[in-house]
Chain A
Amino acid sequence: MKLRVNDHETEFDAPPDMPLLWVLRDELGLTGTKFGCGVAACGACTVEVDGVAMRSCVVPASALAGRSVRTIEGSPDRIVAALQAAWVRHQTPQCGYCQGGMILAAASLLRQNPAPGDADIDQAITNLCRCGTYQRIRAAIHDAAKTLQGARA
């Protein structure tokens, strides 16, 4: 099976129904994408597929042939880089387990909406953080959005 992950063509051997999450983690060694629930309820496994956030625990890798997958390990584009920098400025992560998924969910939001309001963030970022870092996540998304808009202006 072939898949484009973080701008590299990869090849692996896996059952056709194996979700992308497990291909990334167990076959490709990309453990930044996390297992949290297996039923697309928590978002720890969020990756971007062609720039759109997707919960990789319920998507068979075989369904993604020809599409481009970004994981948190991927070389950051300007949006992801701005989010990562904002995440550090706000000292957002606690345990950190959900944060890769959070950042990629936020990246997908900023691609579609460069200046999201609180309600947009509420609606788009439905990932679970058991450490309760939400207030800093919200602040970091606003901060990254401002940085990106400033850079564009």
Chain B
Amino acid sequence: MNRSLTPALNRRRFLLTGAALGGGLLVGCSGQRLGEGATFDPVDGQVALNAWVKITPDDRVIVAAPRSEMGQGVHTGLAQLLADELDARWDQVSVEAAPLARVYANTALLLNVSPLLPDDDGLLARLTRASLQTVGYALALQVTGGSSSIRDAWEPLRLAGATARQQLLVVAAARLQVPLAELTVQDGLVRHAASGRTLRFGELAQAAAALPAPSDVSLKPASARRLIGQPVPRTDIPVKVNGQARFGIDTRLPGLLYAAIRQCPVFGGPVLGGRLRPFDLQAARALPGVKDVLILNEQAVVVLAGNTWTAQQAVNALPLQWDEGPHAQLDSAAVSAQLRAALQDSGLHGGTRFRHQGDADAVLAQAPAQRRLQAEYEVPFLAHAALEPVNCTAQVKGGQVTVWCGTQAPSLAQWLAARVADVDTDQVTVHVPLLGGGFGRRLESDMVEQAVAVALRTQGAPVKLTWSREEDLQHDMYRPAAMARFEAALDEQGRPLAWRNSVAAPSIGLSTMQRLLPSLAMDMPDKNQIEGAFELPYAVPNLEVRQFRCATPVPVGSWRSVGHSYNAFFTECFLDELAHAAGQDPVAYRLSLLAQQPRHQAVLKAAAQRAGWGQPLPAGRARGVALHESFGSVCAQVAEVALEGGRLRVHRVVAAIDCGTVVNPDTVDAQLQSAIVYGLSAALMGEITLKDGRVQQRNFPDYDAIRLADMPRIDTVLLPSTSAPGGVGEPGTPPVAPAVANACFALSGERLRRLPLRPTQQVKTT
């Protein structure tokens, strides 16, 4: 090891971003992120050195994972951060879900709502970010989302490992009667090289835990890292190949009741939604195998039985009729018309301006028609369709509420469960098993509120509520439908002189508040609605980006990459239109506008090079490119497509990413593949449509996704970086739709401005 424990080398205090402004801000206090060992619930002789790590008598290292594992590898990544600083052996490390406690708050989550430009590092920007981190801590947000887990954990988890290591060394130095500086930790053992003596973690932990946490410790230089940056095997894989993995839906308890639900098919929420008409409850309760039938808020019916199948069969058999409320006529065309009207009626100056430089209005007004472009883009609502259907298990007994739920937001689940049961939050325990996909759907707690409401009426018996796939698709919090209108003017060389982008979409912030705290729900500027549009990285002297928020009765929520999921499609396709109008190569055109953005340039060049951009392809194939920054990472993709049987066929996608320091390259590769397939499924076939106030799609046959036979070859390039980690779970999703749409244009000359992509033209024969 070339790490020195002398203060002169590599010494720094471990303060979060906010602390750089003076050290006094709440989350800047490192001790608060380190926490108390007791929080991590040591049992069976385990010793907790702080809230993040326990040592067992037989030298196992157990790392606290307060983030939900939904396949993104977060349990492994968190453990790598801590174990690297502790110098533990990877095979002695395991992971345990952390309980709910403020020390585990995600202080990076709310950075995603800040309307700052990503490269803004001024005093005001730093203060804003520090404040948002403080709010996350104050609210004890134990939430997994926004590609924020590793960004949040980067400093505190390494600090927790380094602190624990230092405590073990202090004890070892005293035991061996040697100076601490003569000790090292290698492969999970404390070693005194001169004498050849070693001590095990397990025999030092008890005494180490009695020491006060050292006030300053050193973190390794990057060159000394042994686990961070390595493709260590994921801790959650072995149980996922032999059936032993436990997901929320697998919860089994003595006396468990199985519940199925049917919700009002028409949207509108608790006030404006439909109402269940009275029906013969007695007859329903007499159906074979049925143990009870309950009605929730006149908007849902729940059947309880001794197994899921019987409950599902019974709920399907009920003669339910609904007073459908004021939104029974809503359809997709009406939503489109509403979005378009918002862009037109509000004129050029309505909405909320998120970006403004120069004078786009004047330049556009003066530009000659042959150098002006305009276009309208649109995307539909989307469902998340995680493979594990929405479910939650709850028990209310003796004033205590227990919830088992594969949730991305256990702290919200706790709060809502307490509200439904009318108890204090400390009377609610939330267990978070593995999640069978999250993608943002499991940030919601509707299933928790329902399960607790049912469990309040079962005399202490636990209830597992499992939605059918049909309920899951028809009662999602959808990715918003959205529309953009662009105008641009080019100079004589084809460079963009002015760019105006207006985006109309519902606000996820407003929809979320209507669900959680309706009395506080206000229509206000919403960064997530416009993210990926206002940060435009290209050099355009006259720039204007405006947001138009359109409330619809359809509940909307976070869908992998949120606003970026549609704004990248809009922006990167329109930029491609500019390149074409300028008669320039799409990669060269982008590079010419990125002189001030070295990170973007490097990523774009890496993707183009790996994809063989500019090199000939077999007949009937073409490439398209897109570049997008989101969640602190920059990702470029090149898609290679063909038209086969009138449908787009994607043969290859090359993705290059700069996501800062890579904690686990194998996980980054996997997440890029995952994000691309998720985005590609949406780009090629994803569409939730409305008719008669309800969602028309019912199950996978009419809301399908990419399968193995449609899978393109995916190549990933990870750019080296010494910066702090950026996000990884989401940044691969936004670029894929525009890369494929741009490739389609290159192939056939047809500019597809609506998702999903449905080409009508054939391949260009020229």
Q: Which A residues lie at the B interface, using CB under 8 A?
A: 14-15, 18-19, 22, 25-27, 29-39, 41-42, 44, 71-73, 76, 84, 87-88, 91-100, 103, 121-123, 125-138
Cross-chain contact of A38 among B243, B258, B468 (Cβ < 8 A): B468
Are A131's CB and B437's CB within 8 A?
yes
Partner pick for B708 among A39, A100, A125, CB 8 A cutoff: A125
Q: What B residues does A130 contact at CB under 8 A?
A: 385-387, 437, 439, 678, 705
B336 at the A interface (CB under 8 A): no
**Nearest-Cβ distance from residue B425 to partner chain A, whole angstroms:** 28
Q: Say which residue of B72, B243, B675, B699 sits within 8 Å of A71 (CB atoms).
A: B243
- For the complex, would chain A's binding face be called helix, strand, loop or mixed by DSSP majority? loop
Q: Once bound together, how far apart are the Cα atoms of A121 and B289, in whole Å?
A: 42
Alpha-carbon distance A26/B309, docked complex (angstroms)? 9
Residues on A with C-beta less than 8 A from B706 are: 132, 134
In the complex, A88→B249 CA distance in Å? 24
A126's partner among B388, B670, B675, B708 (CB-CB below 8 A) is B708
Residues of B within 8 A of A98 (CB): 387
What is the CB-to-nearest-CB distance from B69 to chain A, in angstroms, rounded to a whole number? Answer: 8
| Cβ distance A73 to chain B, nearest Cβ, rounded Å | 4
A94 contact from B258, B310, B466, B670, Cβ within 8 A: B670
Given that A14-B307, A26-B308, A88-B233 are contacting pairs, would A135 and B713 also be in contact in the complex, using a CB cutoff of 8 Å?
A: yes
For residue B250, CB closer than 8 A to chain A, the reply is: yes
A38 to B234, CA, bound (A): 31
Bound Cα distance from A123 to B708, whole angstroms: 9
Q: How far is the CA of A99 from the CA of B237 in the complex (A)?
A: 10
26 example contacts (A-B, Cβ-Cβ < 8 A) are as follows: A22-B308, A22-B309, A26-B258, A26-B306, A32-B244, A34-B436, A35-B466, A39-B699, A42-B700, A44-B387, A84-B242, A88-B238, A93-B240, A94-B72, A94-B73, A95-B438, A96-B236, A103-B241, A126-B707, A128-B705, A130-B385, A131-B678, A132-B673, A132-B675, A132-B678, A134-B677
Q: How far is the CA of A137 from the CA of B306 in the complex (A)?
A: 36
A132 to B309, Cβ gap below 8 A?
no
Q: Given A15-B310, A93-B237, A30–B243 Cβ distance below 8 Å? A: yes
B469 interfacial contact with A, CB 8 Å = yes
Q: Is the CB of A36 within 8 A of B677?
A: no
Q: Which A residues are CB-close (under 8 A) to B714? A: 135
CB distance from B239 to the nearest CB of A (A): 8
**Cβ–Cβ < 8 Å partners of A95 in chain B:** 70-71, 386-388, 434-438
**Which 8 residue pairs of A and B lie closest in terms of their CB atoms, listed nearest first?**
A32-B243, A132-B677, A94-B71, A96-B240, A97-B436, A95-B71, A72-B243, A122-B709
The complex places the Cα of A9 from the Cα of B16 at a distance, in Å, of 59
Establish whether residues B233 and A91, one from each chain, have CB atoms under 8 Å apart when the complex forms. yes
Is there contact, CB below 8 Å, between B244 and A128?
no
A42 CA to B385 CA, complexed, in Å = 11
Partner of B674, one of A29, A39, A121, A131: A131
Measured in the bound complex, the distance between the Cα atoms of B309 and A18 in whole Å is 7
Would you call B469 and A36 a contact (CB within 8 A)?
Answer: yes
Tell yes or no: B226 within 8 A of A by CB: no
Interface residues of B in 47-88 (CB under 8 A from A): 70-73
Residue of B nearest to A119 (CB): B709
Known contacts: A39-B699, A41-B701. The answer to whether A129 contacts B666 by CB under 8 A is: no
Q: Determine which residue in A38, A95, A134 has the highest number of CB atoms from chain B within 10 A of its CB, and name it.
A: A95
Contacts of B593 in A (CB 8 A): none
CB of A95, distance to nearest CB on chain B (Å): 3
Contact residues, B671-697 vs A (CB, 8 A):
673-678, 681
Chain A residues with Cβ under 8 A from B356's Cβ? none
Contacts A96-B236, A130-B437: A35 and B247 contacting too (C-beta < 8 A)?
no
Q: Closest chain A residue to B69 by CB distance? A: A95
Known contacts A95-B436, A96-B436; A88/B241 CB under 8 A: yes
Q: Which residue of A lies closest to B249 (CB)?
A: A35
Q: Residue of B at shortest CB range from A18?
A: B309
The distance in angstroms between the C-alpha atoms of A128 and B737, with both chains bound, is: 20
CA distance A70 to B671 in the complex (A): 31
- What is the CA–CA distance of A47 and B288 in the complex, to the nearest angstrom? 28
1/0 per residue, CB under 8 A from A, across B432-453: the answer is 0011111100000000000000
Note all chain B residues with C-beta closer than 8 A to A18: 307, 309-310
Contact of B709 among A71, A84, A94, A123 (CB under 8 A): A123
